[in-house]
Structure 1
Amino acid sequence: MNSAPHLHSEDRAEYERVLNDVLRTAHNRPELDGIGRRLTAEQLRTMALKATSHITGAAAAEYGHYVTARQEARASAGGPGGGPGPAAGAPSETGAGFAAVITVLAPVLAGTAALILLLVGYVLKAVSPDAAFAETLLTAGWFFGALTAAGLLAAAIGLLVTALRNRATQVPAEDATGELPDEVARAKEAWRHALLERGVLPFLRAALADPGADPASHTPPRAVNRIPKVGYSGPDFSSPSDGGPTGPRPTFTSPDFTSPDFGPPENRPE
């Protein structure tokens, strides 16, 4: 099985959808009629989710084409992956983050100050109506109240502008009619078909046929009868002791060495 590319998080839901559709319609598939006897549909689903990389590897080529087509469609739309967009937006993201913090904190702080000042001011005014300090506190409280209202208005405008900007640069998964571009749709359908026929169904069949399949294990089930026997046998090597035919064995004789004392008279030493 081919090694699968990393399955993007946005595609994991599609993989689970294909798996769930198969398990839901298993009663219409004769090859999956063993569900419920030894392994339930939920156990098979758990096994398939643990073996995601193993199963999706069967459709690695189609998935790679689908991802490429999707990235090209996004690039042509000017979204992420289109080149200079993210780089150009990097400096503004930091500034936007700081401005967002200030926009959120300013109304909170101003509102808190306004509440405290108004509360203390009205209490002092109730105790001593002629106290000048109470009027000062009330004036400051209403000033911070105005700042709170202005901050809330600025925050609302900022959220609206951010939403409009994100909508303009957002990469739509679908076009205005709710459909994927033709090339992406064809690539996605090809991946789904390959994932179903070469990944999910063979895995489920193997799990049902493997008596040792364990739902709690991360190891994929053994494929039954996956490797056919090759129609040849190895050469027959046998030793002579096995009863096979043997030929005549060569005979060896050692050379005749004699001592000088036993040689002919003419060869004896003086």
Structure 2
Amino acid sequence: MTTRLRPEDRADFEWVLTLALDVTDIRTALDRGPVTPGVTALRARALADADAIAASAADEYRAYLRARAAVMPASGTPAPSPGAARNGPVAESLLPALGVLAPLVSAVAATVFLLFGYGIRLATPASSVASTLVTAGWTSALVTVASTTVGLGALLVTAVRSRTSHRGDPRLAVGNPEAEHARAAWHQALLERGLLPYLRGHLTVGPPSAD
């Protein structure tokens, strides 16, 4: 049974195609002269024949689709838990905002308390209010340092998550080992049995010798 390459998996096909075009003998043949098709033309031809090329790794592709379906609902995205659906996006959006606002608010409070505290202390050295304000000011300053550290960490975590969500297949963001292994096996089969023979056939070159 032939399984056509699904639209959401064409990005994977293009990525493996890029790897194949960079294999030594393929790259050497492409650089050999004007009689061979250029990289752009060969890439376009391979993309047009994507379904036929992918058929060489059909078994691995079907195994990948089964593994992926096991961790995804029919809509094609991981099924979040009800609590994560309600709280996840809100928490992720509030964390960076709090990381910026908390140090700012505590820094302003520290400045105000210290200015008023030392101002009153200059006018009335024995004033208990001045001592209270100065203590509150230095406490706010410590809070500023701590919240700045926490805020930077929150921003870093958000940046890393953002990069991760834009890299590779976002539907596998659940980190399912079986699905990731099946995907890697499909990539390997697609490269070795599909794209490399296809490219070598169009460039009339054979695989590199063992020695």
- What is the TM-score when the length of structure 2 is the normalising length? 0.56
Which residue, 98, 105, 113 being the options, matches 1:103?
Answer: 98
Provide the residue aligned with 1:171 in structure 2.
175
Assess, with a 3 A threshold, how the Cα gap between structure 1 residues 38 and 144 changes in structure 2: closer, same or farther. Answer: same
Q: Distance in 2 between matches of 1:123 and 1:105?
A: 28
Q: Indicate if the aligned counterparts of 1:114 and 1:143 stay in contact, CA closer than 8 A.
A: no
Q: Indicate if the aligned counterparts of 2:113 and 2:134 stay in contact, CA closer than 8 A.
A: yes
SS at match of 1:104: helix
Q: Indicate if the aligned counterparts of 1:44 and 1:204 stay in contact, CA closer than 8 A.
A: no
Provide the residue aligned with 1:73 in structure 2.
67
Q: Deviations over 1:3-40 (max 9, x none)?
A: 8543443453322111110xx22498xxx4x8433268
- What is the TM-score when the length of structure 1 is the normalising length? 0.46
- Give 1:122 deviation, angstroms: 7.8
Q: Indicate if the aligned counterparts of 1:122 and 1:134 stay in contact, CA closer than 8 A.
A: yes
- Aligned letter for 1:25? D
Q: Deviations over 1:39-77 (max 9, x none)?
A: 68xx8223334445224333133466544422433455x
Q: Indicate if the aligned counterparts of 1:56 and 1:195 stay in contact, CA closer than 8 A.
A: no
Which residue, 17, 25, 40 being the options, matches 1:46?
Answer: 40
* Higher fraction of helix: 2
Unaligned runs of 5+ in 1: 206-270
- Aligned letter for 1:189? Q
Assess, with a 3 A threshold, how the Cα gap between structure 1 residues 18 and 109 changes in structure 2: closer, same or farther. Answer: same
Provide the residue aligned with 2:170 in structure 1.
none
Q: Distance in 2 between matches of 1:149 and 1:79?
A: 43
Provide the residue aligned with 1:18 in structure 2.
20
Q: Indicate if the aligned counterparts of 1:121 and 1:135 stay in contact, CA closer than 8 A.
A: no
Assess, with a 3 A threshold, how the Cα gap between structure 1 residues 5 and 157 changes in structure 2: closer, same or farther. Answer: closer
Assess, with a 3 A threshold, how the Cα gap between structure 1 residues 103 and 56 changes in structure 2: closer, same or farther. Answer: same
Q: Indicate if the aligned counterparts of 1:55 and 1:203 stay in contact, CA closer than 8 A.
A: no
Which residue, 121, 140, 144 being the options, matches 2:140?
Answer: 144
Provide the residue aligned with 1:196 in structure 2.
196
Assess, with a 3 A threshold, how the Cα gap between structure 1 residues 118 and 202 changes in structure 2: closer, same or farther. Answer: farther
Q: Indicate if the aligned counterparts of 1:121 and 1:134 stay in contact, CA closer than 8 A.
A: yes
Q: Distance in 1 between matches of 2:42 and 2:118?
A: 68
- Give 1:115 deviation, angstroms: 5.3
Q: Distance in 2 between matches of 1:184 and 1:94?
A: 28
SS at match of 2:38: helix
Assess, with a 3 A threshold, how the Cα gap between structure 1 residues 108 and 97 changes in structure 2: closer, same or farther. Answer: same
**Identity fraction in percent:** 20
Q: Deviations over 1:65-116 (max 9, x none)?
A: 544422433455x578898733633222233224414531343223431453
Q: Distance in 1 between matches of 2:59 and 2:102?
A: 50
Q: Distance in 2 between matches of 1:83 and 1:5?
A: 15
Q: Distance in 2 between matches of 1:53 and 1:66?
A: 19
Unaligned runs of 5+ in 2: 165-172, 205-211
- Aligned letter for 2:80? P
Which residue, 80, 83, 86 being the options, matches 1:86?
Answer: 80
Aligned length: 183
SS at match of 1:129: helix
- RMSD (CA atoms): 4.8
Assess, with a 3 A threshold, how the Cα gap between structure 1 residues 155 and 49 changes in structure 2: closer, same or farther. Answer: same
Provide the residue aligned with 1:117 in structure 2.
112
- Give 1:138 deviation, angstroms: 3.0
- 1:61 aligned to 2:65? no
- Aligned letter for 1:95? V
For the pair shown, the structure with the greater C-alpha radius of gyration is 1
Q: Distance in 2 between matches of 1:115 and 1:9?
A: 52
